[in-house]
Structure 1
């Protein structure tokens, strides 16, 4: 079944050219273009000059993607695989004609951009209507989902690249891209959280966490950035502050990160101090005070109500969405905390917040211990159907399963195709994207689970929407698990092990 999937993916024209170690052409099937007039591989196209370096190392394989070829008045967009050969095998290259595929991708992207621009102008008109708030929230939720889908794909690809043997320069580029994607994902997360809060769908979670871990994360992310900006960065924690707490770890991180990030952006000299103190303690209940003080450019706002969504504090050309403090204030209110600030133009700003927590006791600590992920070798192969309308997400999920081993895979682009394939094949597990064109994932799941003639496959729902309504509907349909994109490989396989009851002793 893997072979069938690969065959479908590679159902394109491929030209093979074999040559010796001096570059002289030995054989070419000329499927894409003739090579009769070229005695050497280097005569075909300037791109092939790079081959001379590749063949210096035996058994080397290099892959080049999205190469534009203009040969004999014909233009190709190709992917190329070069094998350097060895004593028994001559070097050769495979040229895959991806012109149609990349042209379609370009057209789809252009169509989406035009549609987005068109919708944006229409939205600008609608925002002025009486239902501004309702419309804005729906728009934010929708656009966040549309952005999270490609973000999930890119983060998944980056996770796969980390496992490859990369050069130092490639690792540096990968690290830069990864940092940018984390930043983008956080911005999109802020937008999505804002829409959930105003919809009344946002929920604060209470779990055990270590405050020291938050402090280390903040230092790790910002210490070097402040040094490069020649601004002093201090983290001060009172010894009276307990470190084992029960509260919403992710929201605490989100609040502190937004405050420190603001201080970083608006402070060009002097220092920034992030301080944590004990504000109140009685029995297991504590209230902590977090403060961020900077010597930055300051602002002249006097009321927290003036921190509107998407409104910056001033008009200087500094990167930012204007969402940070608006999100912070709304999260603090949901967590039943307090927020205050003081700022003077060209002198700096001070933000102070208090948040309530419970201190962790030993019995709770033992219950909330996080188990380290351990890969399990699968002896019995499982039949899997991947249902997703996004080709990148299909590829990432398929690659993760192939690298792990133990799975046969098929792919469907929508709910209708998934049902058609489920009628012909028994699947142990179905990954179902919930938001697809034609027939969405909810409808497909309902049909599959209610049809007596279909095998009762395990189903893991995949969605960029982390909202209560979707989760409750998925639960009603008896979905075995619900994973929010973007996810990490450990999260994916933990879910697979649990759903398929795969144990280490298998």
Structure 2
């Protein structure tokens, strides 16, 4: 009868093991585990040691699920019974290996699907509400990292260079260039996330390709001379001068590639070649090829997915970020990129980008240089920034310029109180105050419609704008934004524009 019921309902492999209370196996029915009559069941597997405790506690019956028996590569459910005067203690082992493996696979698949669905839902939510959690986080981190860089850059500008020795001036120049490089790295991280989250904006404008190449040449000539590495710049004979495109992104791409090449080339050369691929009407296609004789890198070409703009190196994480940023940027600019690298031979990276041509000379072709003005009157300025070093730097810069009377608010609340009693021409406002929202300050001031308030020129300062902040500034018609780290000339010019 027992056999009939087992066959009817279990329909699985099973094994019954009867044993003495001291663990001696007396009877075995069916074979799942290779347990011999006369052996000790407690010694067969660590799980069976738990049966000894159940017997000592006189446990009548116990059920265990999903017991992994490594010796037999089995996952079993176990029923233990202490028996009675007529029945020895026994265990019933029910083979559930396939069952639990299927559950595990289904659970894993379900988890993966749930995660992907969550990602899609989160992405859709962010797109609908124009809020990206990753971007918000990176803006905050960017602010924390860029603030000290801003301080370093402007403290250097406040030094009286005339009283410094040649060596000291060179050290200041090195610190300045290193700070700009660090700032660019931080910006790269933010830009990469901006591309992925849809916050990336292209700014096409007219620029001189020749000036851009000359700038690159000066920077990397100085950088490589100390390493005794030759910098080669090769330009096509009929390379256009004025083109329309995003010069900042182009610089970002070339800086990343040349930084990698410079960093890992200790002898030989680093080369930038610019080729004209085609020229049709008002369009031109250019190749920018960066070659080096450095150590080279091993990478799996199969993981290069240009469509998804991802590139991962097998064992060289130090170049992964720069290359990933280049790949993302190039694709955003409707170009393409090719990588070739040989260990101990060097690396070649070829970037193709399309541009528009400029016919003739336009107003934008003339690069205007900053000219300091002699102000005809004293302008009252309120600085609202809860970083002491930032406030000190702004005060010093304005004092050095002359023509400004300066007040400083310790926080947003004090700024609002001061505005009730004083008339100001300018408010230099950090957009990342800790106690009071900068936008609450703007809203409070703008809500008082009067000639005094309307005459105030707000100049927001920030390390980076997310889409929500940008929309808020547009709402209050605040188009001039100083992005840290900014130079003194940028501060002065932004104030001139408001006079």
Q: Find the counterpart in structure 2 of residue 401 from structure 1.
A: 398
How far has the Cα of 1:230 moved from its partner? 3.0
Asked whether the 8 Å contact 1:459–1:480 carries over to 2, the reply is no
How far has the Cα of 1:335 moved from its partner? 0.7
Q: 1:155 to 1:401 in 2, by over 3 A?
A: same
Partner-residue secondary structure (3-state), 1:481: coil
How far has the Cα of 1:245 moved from its partner? 1.1
Alpha-carbon distance between aligned partners in 2 of 1:284 and 1:217, rounded to the nearest angstrom: 25
Alpha-carbon distance between aligned partners in 2 of 1:308 and 1:479, rounded to the nearest angstrom: 34
- Is 1:495 the counterpart of 2:494? The answer is yes
Partner-residue secondary structure (3-state), 1:305: coil
- Is 1:372 the counterpart of 2:366? The answer is no
Asked whether the 8 Å contact 1:274–1:290 carries over to 2, the reply is yes
Asked whether the 8 Å contact 1:284–1:359 carries over to 2, the reply is yes
Tell me the alpha carbon deviations over residues 170-193 of structure 1, each in whole angstroms, 9 at most, x when there is no partner: 313212221221121111111121
Written as runs of structure 1 = structure 2, the 5 A alignment for 1:75-224 is 136-161=134-159, 165-224=163-222
How far has the Cα of 1:447 moved from its partner? 0.2
Q: 1:263 to 1:239 in 2, by over 3 A?
A: same
Asked whether the 8 Å contact 2:135–2:466 carries over to 1, the reply is no
Q: Find the counterpart in structure 2 of residue 422 from structure 1.
A: 419
Q: Find the counterpart in structure 2 of residue 339 from structure 1.
A: 337
How far has the Cα of 1:379 moved from its partner? 2.4
The number of aligned residues is 370
Tell me the alpha carbon deviations over residues 50-91 of structure 1, each in whole angstroms, 9 at most, x when there is no partner: xxxxxxxxxxxxxxxxxxxxxxxxxxxxxxxxxxxxxxxxxx
Which of residues 297, 300, 314 is equivalent to 1:299?
A: 297
Q: Find the counterpart in structure 1 of residue 433 from structure 2.
A: 436
Tell me the alpha carbon deviations over residues 210-235 of structure 1, each in whole angstroms, 9 at most, x when there is no partner: 11122212221222433332333211
Written as runs of structure 1 = structure 2, the 5 A alignment for 1:262-277 is 262-277=260-275
Alpha-carbon distance between aligned partners in 1 of 2:238 and 2:431, rounded to the nearest angstrom: 47
Asked whether the 8 Å contact 1:207–1:368 carries over to 2, the reply is no
Alpha-carbon distance between aligned partners in 1 of 2:475 and 2:204, rounded to the nearest angstrom: 24
- Further displaced range: 428-437 or 445-454: 445-454
Q: Find the counterpart in structure 2 of residue 470 from structure 1.
A: 469
Asked whether the 8 Å contact 1:279–1:287 carries over to 2, the reply is yes
How far has the Cα of 1:138 moved from its partner? 4.1
- Is 1:237 the counterpart of 2:235? The answer is yes
TM-score, normalization by structure 2? 0.69
Alpha-carbon distance between aligned partners in 1 of 2:447 and 2:430, rounded to the nearest angstrom: 18
Alpha-carbon distance between aligned partners in 2 of 1:458 and 1:315, rounded to the nearest angstrom: 49
Alpha-carbon distance between aligned partners in 1 of 2:313 and 2:133, rounded to the nearest angstrom: 22
Which of residues 348, 367, 385 is equivalent to 1:388?
A: 385
Tell me the alpha carbon deviations over residues 326-361 of structure 1, each in whole angstroms, 9 at most, x when there is no partner: 111111111111111122222222111111111112
Q: 1:312 to 1:150 in 2, by over 3 A?
A: farther
Alpha-carbon distance between aligned partners in 1 of 2:258 and 2:267, rounded to the nearest angstrom: 15
Asked whether the 8 Å contact 1:276–1:290 carries over to 2, the reply is yes
Alpha-carbon distance between aligned partners in 1 of 2:222 and 2:382, rounded to the nearest angstrom: 44
Which of residues 270, 286, 301 is equivalent to 2:284?
A: 286
Asked whether the 8 Å contact 1:276–1:288 carries over to 2, the reply is yes
Q: 1:353 to 1:205 in 2, by over 3 A?
A: same
Q: Find the counterpart in structure 1 of residue 257 from structure 2.
A: 259
Q: 1:381 to 1:288 in 2, by over 3 A?
A: same
Q: Find the counterpart in structure 2 of residue 70 from structure 1.
A: none
Partner-residue secondary structure (3-state), 1:340: strand
Asked whether the 8 Å contact 1:299–1:343 carries over to 2, the reply is yes
Which of residues 353, 356, 381 is equivalent to 1:355?
A: 353
Asked whether the 8 Å contact 1:266–1:296 carries over to 2, the reply is yes
Q: 1:446 to 1:151 in 2, by over 3 A?
A: same
**RMSD of aligned alpha carbons:** 2.7
Higher Cα radius of gyration: 2
